[in-house]
Amino acid sequence: MVWTEISNGNLPDADEVMNNFRLSATALINEVADRSVSFDFSSDQASTKTNLTYDTDENYYYGSNASVVLEMPGQAGGNFDKKYNMAFLKFQYDIYTIYDECDDSSFDTTKFTGSANETETSDYCQASDNTANVNLDADNNSNGWSGDKKFMFKAYWSVSGSSGAGNYYLYLLGTTSGQVTLKSYTGVGNPSSQTHSFEVWVDDTNKLATVYIDGVFSSVVDISSLSGNYYFRLQSSWPGGGDTVTCRYYYFRIKQGDETTTVTESFSADNGNNYTIATNSIAYINTSAQQKYATRIKLTSTVASDEIIIIKNCHYIPLTAGDN
């Protein structure tokens, strides 16, 4: 770091100030970039985890109704010539209320409505039939939902038994009237199926729905044509008829805004022996001159009953207190 000083009572000229500022800013940027660490969870990268499962399909950690811990390693291998006393850190996570995990082999007709042959296994709930169209609604006992909410669910559509092509739709409907398409897959050839994870932000205030599919932004949809509350529909269609058409939910979760799960994020400058809790994503460590260890970061959460935490990635920047 280069400091600009007053010499003999005289201020440096503007060019000197700006040059020294540029040098200082460049040094800081280089330091931050060199220390920056990101985990996008393309694999199970935890140092330790408690009451958390890594979903290899979804590439995130999840846990419900338990005290959970996710501890991540620090900079690769640790820079043992540095001692750290500060870190910027942030885990990306969401807290949802569990609507239905679709895993108890009992189809709940107060949560879902199917147009034919409603069943549930230990992995999904579905509607299926040899007909032209099958619907499976997440409709909150036909009441739908109101207000601004975020939804997370995994959906599946299929048509089997034909060389024809299936048409698959995700709709948002109004309980009084109206229907908008959030996503469609048309002309899908045999063997035809689609499986995708959705996150849908329903901005009821501004009448917009923002759709992410498999973690990637898809669209913003105008929902002003809907009247009443709103609900979701999967539709699997084979216009020729006579084939088996199926719709499934693997889980369905809602971020209502009143979740009570608590989360703390912490930073360790001594390889996890001691942690300091971050405040506003910043953690300070009083580092002794002897501490030159690998860093670690940790998320600790007490997940409330009927809620679930989804942890997608984390990012942090440890900063050095000096070289000695």
pTM score: 0.83
Q: How many CA atoms lie within 13 A of 267 on its CB side?
A: 27
Largest interatomic CA distance in the chain: 94
Mention the CATH class of domain 100-255: mainly beta
pLDDT value for 243: 78
CATH fold for the domain made of 39-97+259-322: Jelly Rolls (2.60.120)
Residue spans of the domains in the chain: they are: 1-35, 39-97+259-322, 100-255
| Among candidate residues 322, 324, 264, the one with its CA nearest the CA of residue 86 | 322
Model confidence at 110, in pLDDT bands (50, 70, 90)?
very high
> Higher-confidence residue: 320 or 119?
119
Could you read off the pLDDT of 14-63 as tens digits, one per residue?
555 455 444 444 444 444 444 567 888 889 999 999 999 999 999 999 99
pLDDT value for 272: 83
DSSP3 helix / strand / coil % (the chain, rounded to 5)? 5, 55, 40
Could you read off the pLDDT of 166-210 as tens digits, one per residue?
889 999 999 999 999 999 998 776 557 899 999 999 999 999 999
Model confidence at 282, in pLDDT bands (50, 70, 90)?
confident
Q: Is 214 left (phi over 0), alpha (psi -120 to 50) or beta?
A: left
> Higher-confidence residue: 282 or 210?
210
Mean pLDDT of the chain: 84
Interval 297-305 mean pLDDT: 95
In this chain, the answer to whether the domains covering 39-97+259-322 and 100-255 adopt an identical fold is yes
pLDDT value for 292: 58
